Amino acid sequence: MGDGDHRPLDAAPNRLHGHNRSHRILLITKCTSNQDCEVIWPGSTCQRSRCRCPENYVRRKSPSREWVCLAVNDAATGQVGPPLTCPLPDGAGYQVILRGSSTNNLLSPPILCSSKTNDCDTGYECIQGLSAAGNLDGACCPDPITTCAHPIFDHESGTLERWGFDGSECVRFKWDPERPSSANNFKTKMQ
């Protein structure tokens, strides 16, 4: 998100920031209700004025969204997923990590980064891994604007309803987590 896309709406302790592209992204410093958190991540709740991720998710800092929830379990197998993953697609974020080859396929090694310095290429942000240690503790994941520019993978074999941005509006599609996908894959229309 560029500086021009990120504007304060309220300077109070519960400050909100917004941007409107395919949908609104609200960043909340302190929450007052579950709805404040649900807008950022489906299923998250407000506990003691802080948004908490749903069960089987881990909260991680996001340079563009303040925070995201990473799925611990792989969407295809239900088993614990890889230690480096991106928030979207939910449970299959490892598919969209920036990789070292021009083809960016899953066999190429991921580009590691530091969540403290966010040293990823333009269009990506560093998201700390589920269990990474050391200076290079994260992976470069698509940022919100790049995410919405990715193609939508509508799978005939899809059993999970998802939402994506087609360039002009949010559209519903069917997702199969066992097939290749992109980060343009949201659980809800508001996400």
The verdict on whether omega for the bond into residue 13 sits within 30 degrees of 0, i.e. cis, is no
Q: Is residue 184 part of a domain?
A: no
Q: Is residue 182 part of a domain?
A: no
Residue 108, domain extent: 3-175
Distance, C-alpha 17 to centroid of its chain: 17
Number of structural domains in the chain: 1
Q: Is residue 121 part of a domain?
A: yes
Other Cβ atoms less than 10 A from the Cβ of 134: the count is 7
Indicate the pTM of the whole model: 0.79
Q: Is residue 180 part of a domain?
A: no
Rounded Cα gap, residues 184 and 164, in angstroms:
5
pLDDT in tens, the chain (191 residues): 333 332 222 222 332 333 333 334 444 568 999 999 988 888 999 999 999 999 999 999 999 988 999 999 999 999 999 999 999 999 999 999 999 876 657 778 899 999 999 999 999 999 999 986 678 899 999 998 899 999 999 999 999 999 999 999 999 999 999 999 999 999 988 88
Q: Is residue 126 part of a domain?
A: yes
Q: Read off the DSSP letter of residue 3.
A: G
Q: Is residue 66 part of a domain?
A: yes
